[in-house]
Every structure is written in C-alpha cells, then in structure tokens.
Amino acid sequence: MSTSGDDESSQERPHVPAPLPPDDPEAWYAPDVLSQYSVYPGVVVTITQTGTGFAYDVVELAETHAINDRAANQQH
C-alpha cells in the first residue's frame, strides 16, 4: 500500500532477471565458491578458491540456527 498517494500500478518497476546457476561463469554471486553440498543432513560443506589455494568449510545448520536464535534473543 502506498502512503504517498501514488498509484503503484502506474509506476514502472525495475526488471530483475532470474538468478544464474552457481556453476554459470557469468554468475556474480559467490564467485570463489567452487562447490557446495550436503554431506549429512544438516551439514553443508563449501569449497572456495583462495589466493593461495582452496578453503574447505563445514557448517552445521542446527548450530547456525542456534547462534542466530541467541543473537535475536539478545536484541530483545
């Protein structure tokens, strides 16, 4: 709902193209990510290219959610 009184349907909206797949060479996001996959339910592995080689990162999703929950609770 517009609060300025302008009719939103008459305003031109920008066109946002659909995202490209991560392995597409023209993809702009996460250009250093070479591979990302689930190795176990709730565990994601990411391999990125660094200036000196490769980095292997493991994230446990349940742990990430717990950290985010704690941060949100501290803000209230």
The model's pLDDT over 11-64, given as tens digits with 9 standing for 90+, comes to: 777 777 777 776 777 766 677 888 888 898 888 899 999 999 999 999 887 765
Tell me which of 76 and 30 has the higher pLDDT.
30
What is this structure's pTM? 0.46
Q: Rounded to an integer, what distance in angstroms lies between the CA atom of residue 29 and that of residue 14?
A: 20
- pLDDT at position 15: 75
Who has greater pLDDT, 2 or 11? 11
> What pLDDT does residue 42 have?
85
- B/e letters for 2-32, b = 16+ CB within 10 Å, e = fewer, are eeeeeeeeeeeeeeeeeeeeeeeeeeeeeee
Domain boundaries, the chain: 29-76
